[in-house]
């Protein structure tokens, strides 16, 4: 879900949704920051198939949870710079089918309004 560009007053359903969305996004982004410091592979562009990337991220999440259970300290906020390799990584262009952004936007807006109606009124 995305925030509104103009949410309106804080005491309206849209305003309450906006506040909750921002708070939730902050928590998620902080968690991703910790994961990226703990597992530097997440901070670099991964050159893997999409299904493997899902497995890598899931494994990192599980290992992070295990580290928390074992009371391992969080990695420091400032990362140690990683040496850059002297070789270049081959990239390939992937051509995706066109996306109907208008339909995608409409369905996203409908889902957001339904969520607001159910949870923020």
How does pLDDT run along the chain (121 residues), one tens digit per residue?
A: 788 888 789 899 999 999 999 999 999 999 999 999 999 888 887 788 888 889 999 999 999 999 999 999 988 887 556 556 565 555 566 666 665 666 668 888 899 999 999 999 8
Residue 105 lies in a domain: no
What would you report as the CA-atom Rg of the chain, rounded to the nearest whole angstrom?
20
Domain that holds residue 17: 8-78
| Distance of alpha carbon 31 from alpha carbon 34, whole angstroms | 5
Other C-beta atoms lying within 10 Å of the C-beta of residue 32:
13
Report yes or no on 85 lying in a domain: no
In a domain, 62, yes or no: yes
25 within domain boundaries: yes
Measuring CA to CA, how many Å separate 120 from each of 11, 22, 24? Answer: 10, 14, 15
In a domain, 120, yes or no: no
110 in any annotated domain: no
Q: How far apart are CA 97 and CA 111, in angstroms?
A: 24
Q: How many domains does one find in the chain?
A: 1
């Amino acid at each position: 879900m995305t925030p509104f560009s103009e949410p309106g007053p804080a005491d309206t359903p849209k305003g309450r949704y906006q506040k909750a969305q921002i708070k939730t996004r902050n928590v998620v982004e902080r968690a991703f920051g910790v994961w990226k410091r703990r597992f530097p592979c997440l901070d670099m562009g991964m050159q893997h198939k999409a299904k493997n990337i899902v497995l890598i991220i899931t494994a990192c999440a599980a290992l992070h949870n295990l580290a928390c259970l074992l009371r391992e300290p969080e990695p420091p906020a400032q990362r140690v710079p990683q040496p850059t390799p002297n070789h270049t990584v081959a990239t390939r262009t992937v051509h995706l089918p066109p996306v109907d952004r208008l339909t995608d936007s409409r369905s996203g807006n409908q889902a957001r309004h339904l969520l607001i109606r159910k949870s923020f009124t």
